[in-house]
Amino acid sequence: MRFLDVTRLLRAGGMALLLTVPGRSCAAPEAQGHKAAPSRPGDLGADRSLVPDLGRYFGTWLWIKSEGLVADSDPETKGAARTLVLRPDMTYEFHERRATRDTVLCRGGYLFSEQSEPGGNVIQALQFEGWYESYERRMLADFEGPDTLHLAGYSCENCPDHAFVRGRTALFGARVTRGERFVHDLWDGLRLELNPLPLGWEIAIRDTMRPGENLARLTPPGPNRGDVNAPRQRREFIFSREVGKTIQGPSADHGVTEEEVERVAREGRGVLTVEEMNLAAHAPGGRAGIEWMRFTAAVEEVGGGALRPAEGPAKRGAGP
């Protein structure tokens, strides 16, 4: 059985714990002359209290904002989405995605440390092997609730504070032909659909519990069908599971508001890039439809907590 090897490091002002995962399995030694007491549910003895809960760090974290002394930044101003994946085997990957072009900025192992200070304050930090910014290879870690993680460089007072939220992401591609329906399962009943139209396709995000509701229908510039019916290189969309419920639900007595659109955009977003396409012949003065296209799509949703989305196979011609 694999277990955490805990090393205690004495430092000025307190005690720190450095946790790593060994590369091989071994049994925990029993102290000489003492018999280990049986464990009991809810037992929070001194030995167990030394090991912090690392499980809350594991998963996929979506970058939402960086606040620094000089300037603030977010995915909209940066023009790129960033994703930090922290795995239980103590390895990580940090991705940057521009539209559907994904780049691994850095990857490697990471260590966790916890240091107690006079007065009872506890400082937690993550140390990243090979982090792309050398001054941020060790970062202070702090949680704002269970699903928001703040990381800030340990080595300088003015290092930016990076905010991440727990989420899920998917990146996939396919080729569709005129009149063909495309469905890709994402996670927790969510799926992306391309539904055929006379000249192209409608982009939809649906929950299998409410297959009649397009969760992406509030994509700016306003309520629209999200059509892919022209040789655009990229089509962005936003979505929320609350669309049709607490956002523009049956009891809504007003049009779509800016606040509702902003709320939807905070909860889910995606982009479809047309990599290659062939236009169908059209009559003089008419519009050309798409005969076939090859595309790549990226989708991300706040919330969840799984390390990776439960990807399902692409399906064609399937019903709701």
- Cα gap 268→252, rounded to integer Å: 21
Give residue 300's Cα distance to chain centre: 6
Count other Cβ atoms within 10 Å, centred on residue 61: 24
Beta strands in 69-160 (DSSP E): 81-86, 91-98, 101-116, 122-128, 138-143, 148-153
More confident residue, 19 or 50: 50
Task: Assign 231 a pLDDT band (cuts: 50, 70, 90).
Answer: low
What does the pLDDT look like over 300-315, one tens digit per residue? Answer: 999 843 333 344 444 5
- Cα gap 115→50, rounded to integer Å: 11
Q: Indicate whether 5 pLDDT > 80.
A: no
Whether pTM > 0.75 for this model: the answer is: no
Which domains are assigned to the chain? 5-22+53-167 (2.40.128), 168-316 (no CATH)
- Cα gap 222→162, rounded to integer Å: 31
State the average pLDDT over residues 140-162.
Answer: 91
What does the pLDDT look like over 63-79, one tens digit per residue? Answer: 999 998 666 788 887 88
- Cα gap 207→242, rounded to integer Å: 10
Q: What percent of the chain has pLDDT over 70?
A: 72
What local confidence, expressed as pLDDT, does residue 201 receive? 93
| DSSP output for 3-48 | --EEEEEEETTEEEEEEE--SS--PPPPPTT-PPPPP-TT---HHH
Token pair of 185 as six digits: 């399962």
What does the pLDDT look like over 16-41, one tens digit per residue? Answer: 334 433 333 333 344 444 444 444 44
